[in-house]
Chains A and B, each alone.
Chain A
Amino acid sequence: MSNLLGHYNYWIVIILMMTGFYTVIARPNLIKKVIGLFIFQTSVFILFISMAKIEGGSAPIIAEGISVYSNPLPHVLILTAIVVSLATTALGLALVVRIREAYGTTNEDEIHVQDEQD
């Protein structure tokens, strides 16, 4: 039972990760794949931040009267990761736009058919 209470955060995060993973590999639309990658990345952020939390702590801003602070190091790493996820999403969506203009479709199955015909 204490295992459940101590770990439910991580398990739900893994369910979210698998949802994003499934969207990337099973859905044929390219925009859906990029969105699935976005969901995967955001759930990884939740994993890191829940590892950084300390019971009874507060935000890592030094103030009077607070003795326990949450760990600031994963916050810094995730700040960088959020910005990098934006960069990859923007580039992925730009590629989807160009693929649409080149092939006329954003469906992965139809793109494979057109590639095999060439």
Chain B
Amino acid sequence: MEHFIDIVLLGLLMITGFAIVRMRSLLAVAMLTSIYSLLSASLFMVLDAVDVALTEAAIGAGISTILMLATIALTTDREKAPRHTPLLPLVVVFTTGAALIYGTLDMPHYGDPDAPVHRRMAAAYLHDTPEEIGVPNVVTSVLASYRGYDTLGEVTVIFTAGIGVLALLGYRTRRRNIQSPAIKKLVVLRVIAKLFLPLILLFALYILFHGDYGPGGGFQAGVIFATGFILYALAFGLGNAQRLIPQRLLHVLAAAGVLIYAAVGIEGMLLGGKFLEYRVLADDPVTGQHLGIMLIELGVGITVAAVMLIIYFGFVSRQHSGDS
């Protein structure tokens, strides 16, 4: 039965992929990309990857769609026909596809428990996590503790993306607080946005701190936190949202998250261990691990939320002032 759901989801993904290639209207393509992300998130759930499904649904279907829509609003929304024939790209694509399929013939069967990828590291992580770290969610323990250095690099990548968008698009504050008449009519949306904003922020904090026991963690929480404020900006206008969260605060928060992460690492060194060693942070090694994981997830959440908002405001404020 599970295979059947698998096949249906993959078939729908293929249809969506082909539709994205063929469609000319870019708004429809943005919506199809969002559908593609949601279908992949469902596929990840069927494949037992719950953390990855949550992250893909929040990031792929949420933030990426908003950014694509903002870009389409700033540029054209129709694609022109290509000038040269697609013969050479088709040949290249078919050759590459055939070579890759020939390469997969050697791969282990789908779902095989004896595959080489399951041999050493996975068994070690699954065995050591309850004793050394004491956290049920093995993905969080590997992400935050065993592979904490990679996650530090990941947070830095997010921070760099925020700086990059700031450098490219800037951030123009609206001086006057104009609410366009269109927004004034959406009374229902404004009431619901006001009602749900605290619930969304609370849910983001829940996912942040519950990431040890279930799917969740810093990245998903930061994205959901930013989504709450994006909802506010959509319902009440950009000027109100920019007065709610000043530009300086976002810059400080984006850097503060990365600094918290690095500070936890250096604290480990100051207390006698190595960089990012959490065992020395408290008297008991397991408590030290818990403390370290909580602090770095907090840092990750803060940076991701601030950078998402920087990127969103960068895109949307461009429209209002740089209109051509």
Contacts and interface: CB of A to CB of B under 8 A. Distances in A.
Interface in B102-126: 104-105, 107-113, 115, 117-118, 121-122, 125-126
B200 interface: no
Interface in B51-93: 51-52, 55-56, 59-60, 63-64, 67-68, 70-72, 74-76, 79-80, 82-83, 86, 89-90, 92-93
A17 B21 CA distance: 12
Contacts of B80: 28-29, 107
B55 A6 contact: no
B186 interface: no
A74 B89 contact: no
Contacts of A25: 89, 92-93
A93 B68 contact: yes
B138 interface: yes
A12 B10 contact: yes
Contacts of B266: none
Interface SS of chain A:
helix
A53 B36 contact: no
B48 A22 contact: no
Interface SS of chain B:
helix
B311 interface: yes
B20 A35 contact: yes
Interface stretch (B161-169, B232-240, B272-280, B289-297): B161-169
Contacts of A109: 82-83
A13 B136 CA distance: 31
Interface residues of B, number: 102
B6 interface: yes
A37 to B, nearest CB: 11
Nearest to A110: B80
Contacts of B4: none
Given A87-B158, A91-B161, A91-B165, A22 B93 contact: yes
Given A35-B68, A61-B136, A69-B126, A19 B18 contact: yes
Given A7-B109, A94-B314, A39 B67 contact: no
A10 B104 contact: yes
B109 A59 contact: no
Given A15-B97, A61-B137, 20 more contacts: A6-B110, A23-B20, A45-B40, A45-B44, A45-B52, A49-B49, A51-B108, A52-B47, A52-B117, A59-B50, A63-B136, A71-B118, A72-B138, A83-B59, A90-B311, A93-B70, A94-B168, A100-B76, A104-B324, A106-B75
8 contacts: A19-B21, A29-B80, A34-B68, A42-B40, A43-B13, A53-B49, A59-B49, A83-B154
